[in-house]
Chains A and B, each alone.
Chain A
Amino acid sequence: GQNIDQPTEMTATEGAIVQINCTYQTSGFNGLFWYQQHAGEAPTFLSYNVLDGLEEKGRFSSFLSRSKGYSYLLLKELQMKDSASYLCAVRDTDKLIFGTGTRLQVFP
């Protein structure tokens, strides 16, 4: 079967570091996306991992371990504007499967 798990909600403080985890079980795997979605807005592309390891892009980094079926999104130097939902999506053979998203709230 296909399954993607993310925590439902997380909270963090401005300036801190937060790690949002995503575990997946799929019949085929061709890569993993992270999207950011502010309340009432469209999801926007953040990162894509297809090989094991860490991809860094400014304050955001994404990690993938294919053998463990695991990814995380790391957000550093948190800002209030990072309050949003973060969606993990897995490329499974010929389809894209989305997780339910993690709602992150950043407090001052």
Chain B
Amino acid sequence: DVKVTQSSRYLVKRTGEKVFLECVQDMDHENMFWYRQDPGLGLRLIYFSYDVKMKEKGDIPEGYSVSREKKERFSLILESASTNQTSMYLCASSLGPRTDTQYFGPGTRLTVL
């Protein structure tokens, strides 16, 4: 079974704080993704990575950055958290191309006060 884990299920931060969300997958997948999920807007892609140290912007990268130093780990960074970044953040991985079946982590519900 593919397992994707995220460092926290719930996180509360203050405006302006730097926030790190960690994601680890154990299936040697090439591709990893970060989405945010908001009511009425569905899943929106923030960033993805197709190899170690490689990253590409998704549809809504503003205010975020990412890091992939190891194949199994993909981190999402909010340099200076803002209230409009309050959301559910989902990490996913896939073996094949970007459009291959994606396997999701349990999500991190981030609240920025």
Please give the residue numbers on chain A whose beta carbons come within 8 Å of chain B beta carbons, in ascending order: 30-31, 33, 35, 40-45, 48, 87, 89, 91, 94-96, 98-101
A43 contacts B42, CB within 8 Å? Answer: no
Binary A-proximity of B80-113 (CB < 8 A = 1, otherwise 0)? 0000000000100000011101111111000000
Residues of B contacting A48 in the complex (Cβ-Cβ under 8 angstroms): 101
User: Which residue of chain B has its CB nearest to the CB of A33?
Assistant: B101
Let me know if B52 is at the binding interface, CB within 8 A: no
Q: B60 on the interface (CB 8 Å rule)?
A: no
Verify B98–A96 contact, CB threshold 8 A.
Answer: yes
Task: Provide the bound-state CA to CA distance between A101 and B4, in Å.
Answer: 22
Contact for A43 among B44, B45, B104, CB less than 8 A: B104
- Within the complex, the shortest CB–CB distance from A55 to chain B, in Å, comes to 14
| Residues of A with C-beta under 8 A to B105 | 42
Q: Is the CB of B106 within 8 A of A42?
A: yes
- Select which of B42, B90, B107 is within 8 A of A101 by beta carbon: B42
How many chain B residues touch the partner (CB < 8 A)?
18
Instruction: Using A33-B101, A42-B4, A45-B103 as known contacts, say yes or no to A95 and B42 having CB atoms under 8 A apart.
Output: no
Chain B residues within 8 Å of A, Cβ to Cβ = 4, 40-45, 90, 97-99, 101-107
A41–B105 alpha-carbon span in the complex (Å):
8
Establish whether residues B101 and A40, one from each chain, have CB atoms under 8 Å apart when the complex forms: no
Q: Which of B43, B98, B103, B107 contacts A98 (CB 8 A)?
A: B43
Is A42's CB under 8 angstroms from B107's CB? yes
Partner of B42, one of A30, A31, A45, A87: A87
Q: Please tell me if the beta carbons of B106 and A95 are within 8 angstroms of each other in the complex.
A: no
* 7 closest A-B pairs by CB: A42-B104, A100-B42, A98-B43, A91-B99, A98-B42, A43-B104, A42-B106
